[in-house]
Amino acid sequence: MIHFDNVTKVYVNQNRPALDHVSVDVDKGEFVFLVGPSGSGKSTFLRLVLKEERPNSGAIHVAGKDLARLSNFKVPHLRRRIGCVFQDFRLLPNKNVYENVAFALEVIGKPRRFIRKVVPEVVELVGLDGKAHRMPDELSGGEQQRVAMARAFVNRPMILLADEPTGNIDPATSIGIMKVLDRINRTGTTVVMATHDAAIVDSMRKRVVELEDGKIVRDQSRGVYGQAY
Amino acid sequence: MRANFIFSEVWIGLRRNLTMTIAVIVTVAIGMALLGIGLMINAQVGNMSTYWADKVQLSAFLCKKNDPFEACKGRSAVNTQERQALLAQIKSMPQVDDVFFENQQAAYENFKAAYSSNSVFLSAVKVEDMPESFRVKLHNPEEYEAVFAALSGAPGVSNVVNDQQLLDKFFGLMGKLRWAALVVALIQVFAAILLIGNTVRLSAYNRRRETGIMRLVGASNLYIQLPFVMEGTIAGLIGGVISAILLIVAKIVLFDGMQAYFVLSTQLDWSDVAQVITLTTVVGVLICILASFVTLRRYLRV
């Protein structure tokens, strides 16, 4: 599903590569934790999958497509098959829960009938039924992250990328978030989650890929966060 | 659905940037109105040249009683004999195509028609004040000098007026006005482009959250950019409509009013005005669309 082959990314005006000859394979339906300290290259990895950045060398395949040969014109279609969740939720403050989720479908031109049908389903899936008409500032951090997950998942993506989704949320609420991610993963969606949260990684017992200074230092199925942190 | 969504985005954008949008509308309106006035002057001059091309003539005014002209000093009004002699002389000249005589009554009628709006002027002038004249039509209006010279010295002729010279003077003035209008229009267009650039930039900044999410969930470039371009287009269109109103007012007040001051002036057709309005509106909208697109490429990387 995601295939990195010897990928190196150096940002302009930086001496040290953000990713240094990284090769990794993520299969369909897998749940992968991407761990490592700040600046180890986790976010760069996710940005490369979305083709928000281009690698300096190496090949990236996402959902069977060679990103180097994917024209700019087709990038939006790639992104429709990838959902994204972030630490800061990125909700639209002037739209309610339903509208925030529907927005993701409206802007890719889905018909209204379809939107009316699928949005309530997804809102229920993330555990927000009954709160569809709340505004983001009326929700707790955990609930806002659920809205973001509903928005990321509403178009049934093949891959869900989560960049420290529990970074702004207390541990008790984080468990709920992880349950939603697990539920999404069980529908067959590949999930890649970058995180600092050792407790979560340890409790989930999923595959762990550890980055340090842009290199993969560990790739372990059913792993834990690691001793050093 | 799609159209609905884009229009609601456009409406939000226009409302958020109301002051900038108004600035764009006013600039486009003034710029396009001036461009239109330049084009209307063009049409007017073209109109008049074709209208007068085969009518331009020399007018030889004859001495009347107590005529203040130098050539008539110390003599009485022109008599029948002199008139016949003049007519024969004019007819004998090879450059002359046609000639007719305008008596005092006919001259007064023409004067009345030309200055119908100016009652003070009309009441001060009587039939006896009007000079008689020979109206001479030439084969080629360019070759007026020989006839002009011959008539200027002839006995009983007070003065000779060449209509072409009057027209040239008028056309010279119109030419200057046209250039002034076009130069100011150009400056306005430049200002409009900068203003639109700024508006789009503000708009893109205001909506960076929305556009960020749109990029993320895979909205196409067209979908992301269209609301911004539409904002510019709508502002341009409103500016175009205002400029159309200004041009219609200009046609009625300036161009039709000109006839009261300049007798040779012809009426500017409404069809010409319609053409000018169409052209300026299209130019205004195109400028807005182009300026929006160019700025978007810089501030809305997709």
Whether residue B78 is found in the same domain as residue B153: yes
Lowest mean pLDDT among A36-45, A163-172, B77-86: B77-86
| H-helix or E-strand spanning residue A59 | strand A57-62
Q: Does B2 sit within 8 Å of A80, measured CB to CB?
A: no
- Residue A221 pLDDT more than 70? yes
User: What mean pLDDT do residues B251-278 have?
Assistant: 82
Out of B139, B163, B187, a domain closes at: B163
Q: Is A77 on the interface with B (CB under 8 A)?
A: yes
Lowest mean pLDDT among A69-78, A111-120, B112-121, B270-279: B112-121
Distance from CA of A227 to the nearest CA of B (A): 35
Distance from CA of A90 to the nearest CA of B (A): 7
Q: Is A65 on the interface with B (CB under 8 A)?
A: no
Query: Quick check: B273 and B251 in contact, CB under 8 A?
Result: yes
Whether residue B231 is found in the same domain as residue B264: yes
- Residue B70 pLDDT more than 80? no
DSSP state letters, A91-102: --TTS-HHHHHH
Count Cβ neighbours within 10 Å for each residue of A115-142 and write b for 16 or more, e otherwise: beebbeebbebbbbeebbebebeebebb
Q: For the segment B6-44, what is each residue's pLDDT rounded down to a tens digit?
A: 788 788 878 888 888 898 899 899 999 999 998 888 888
Q: Which of A80, A33, A75, A83 is nearest to A223 (CA)?
A: A33
User: Which residue segment(s) compose the domain that B110 sits in?
Assistant: 57-163
Radius of gyration of chain B (CA): 30
User: What mean pLDDT do residues B266-271 have?
Assistant: 82
Q: Is B214 on the interface with A (CB under 8 A)?
A: yes
- Counting every residue written for chain A, the total comes to 229
- Residue A16 pLDDT more than 70? yes
Q: Is A106 on the interface with B (CB under 8 A)?
A: yes
Contacts of B302 in chain A (CB under 8 A): 72, 75-76
Residues whose CB is less than 8 angstroms from the CB of residue B219 and which lie 6 or more positions away in sequence, other chains included: A76, A107, A108
pLDDT of B127: 81
With 0-12 CB in 10 A as exposed, 13-18 as middle and 19+ as buried, what is B280?
Answer: buried
Whether residue B172 is found in the same domain as residue B45: yes
Mutate to test the interface with A, among B217, B222, B226 (most CBs of A within 10 A): B217
Give the ipTM.
0.87
When comparing pLDDT for A59 and B113, which is higher?
A59
Out of B163, B181, B204, a domain closes at: B163
Q: Does A90 sit within 8 Å of B209, measured CB to CB?
A: yes
For the ranges A96-105, B186-195, B220-229, the maximum mean pLDDT occurs at: A96-105
pLDDT of B54: 67
Q: Is B218 on the interface with A (CB under 8 A)?
A: yes
Out of B109, B144, B163, a domain closes at: B163
Whether residue B186 is found in the same domain as residue B74: no
Strands A159-163 and A82-86: parallel
Whether residue B292 is found in the same domain as residue B202: yes
Contacts of B1 in chain A (CB under 8 A): 106, 109-112
Whether residue B174 is found in the same domain as residue B290: yes
Contacts of A53 in chain B (CB under 8 A): none
Q: For the segment B220-263, what is each residue's pLDDT rounded down to a tens digit?
A: 888 888 888 888 899 999 999 999 999 999 988 888 877 767 76
Give the pLDDT band of residue A227 (cuts 50, 70, 90).
Answer: low
Give the pLDDT band of residue B79 (cuts 50, 70, 90).
Answer: confident
Q: Does B219 sit within 8 Å of A108, measured CB to CB?
A: yes
Find where tokens 């707790």 sit.
Answer: A140
pLDDT of B244: 94
Whether residue B38 is found in the same domain as residue B117: no
Distance from CA of B209 to the nearest CA of A (A): 7
pLDDT of B124: 79
- Structure token pair of residue B38: 């330049």
Q: Is B8 on the interface with A (CB under 8 A)?
A: no
Which residue of A78, A103, A112 is in closest CB contact with B213?
A103
At residue B249, what is the residue type? Answer: V
Instruction: Name the closest residue on chain A to residue B2, using Cα atoms.
Output: A109
- Structure token pair of residue A202: 């340890």
Q: For the segment B141-184, what is each residue's pLDDT rounded down to a tens digit?
A: 777 778 888 888 777 888 888 877 777 888 888 888 888 888 98
Whether residue B98 is found in the same domain as residue B46: no
Find where tokens 């809102």 sit.
Answer: A123
Give the pLDDT band of residue B56 (cuts 50, 70, 90).
Answer: low
Q: Does B218 sit within 8 Å of A78, measured CB to CB?
A: yes
Q: Which of A53, A83, A104 is nearest to A159 (CA)?
A: A83
Whether residue B36 is found in the same domain as residue B80: no
Whether residue B151 is found in the same domain as residue B172: no
- Residue B302 pLDDT more than 60? no
Number of Cα atoms under 13 Å in the Cβ half of residue B82: 18
- Residue A96 pLDDT more than 80? yes
Q: Does domain A1-81+157-229 have CATH number 3.40.50.300?
A: yes
Q: State pTM to two decimals.
A: 0.72
- Cα–Cα dist B101/B59, whole Å: 10
Number of Cα atoms under 13 Å in the Cβ half of residue B226: 15
Q: Is B124 on the interface with A (CB under 8 A)?
A: no
Count Cβ neighbours within 10 Å for each residue of B86-122 and write b for 16 or more, e otherwise: beeebeeeebbeebeebebeebbeebeebbeeeeeee
Q: Does A79 sit within 8 Å of B216, measured CB to CB?
A: yes
Residues whose CB is less than 8 angstroms from the CB of residue B115 and which lie 6 or more positions away in sequence, other chains included: B121, B122, B260
User: What mean pLDDT do residues A45-55 have?
Assistant: 93
Find where tokens 């409406």 sit.
Answer: B11
pLDDT of A229: 44
pLDDT of B117: 65
Give the pLDDT band of residue A134 (cuts 50, 70, 90).
Answer: very high
Q: Does B217 sit within 8 Å of A90, measured CB to CB?
A: no
What does the mean pLDDT of chain B come to?
83
- Structure token pair of residue B42: 């063009």
Distance from CA of B213 to the nearest CA of A (A): 8
pLDDT of B264: 64
Mutate to test the interface with B, among A86, A95, A106, A147 (most CBs of B within 10 A): A106
Contacts of A92 in chain B (CB under 8 A): 209-210, 213
pLDDT of B245: 95
Structural domain count of chain B: 2
Contacts of B5 in chain A (CB under 8 A): 106-107
Q: Where are the domains of chain A?
A: 1-81+157-229, 91-156
- Cα–Cα dist B52/B33, whole Å: 28
Whether residue B239 is found in the same domain as residue B148: no
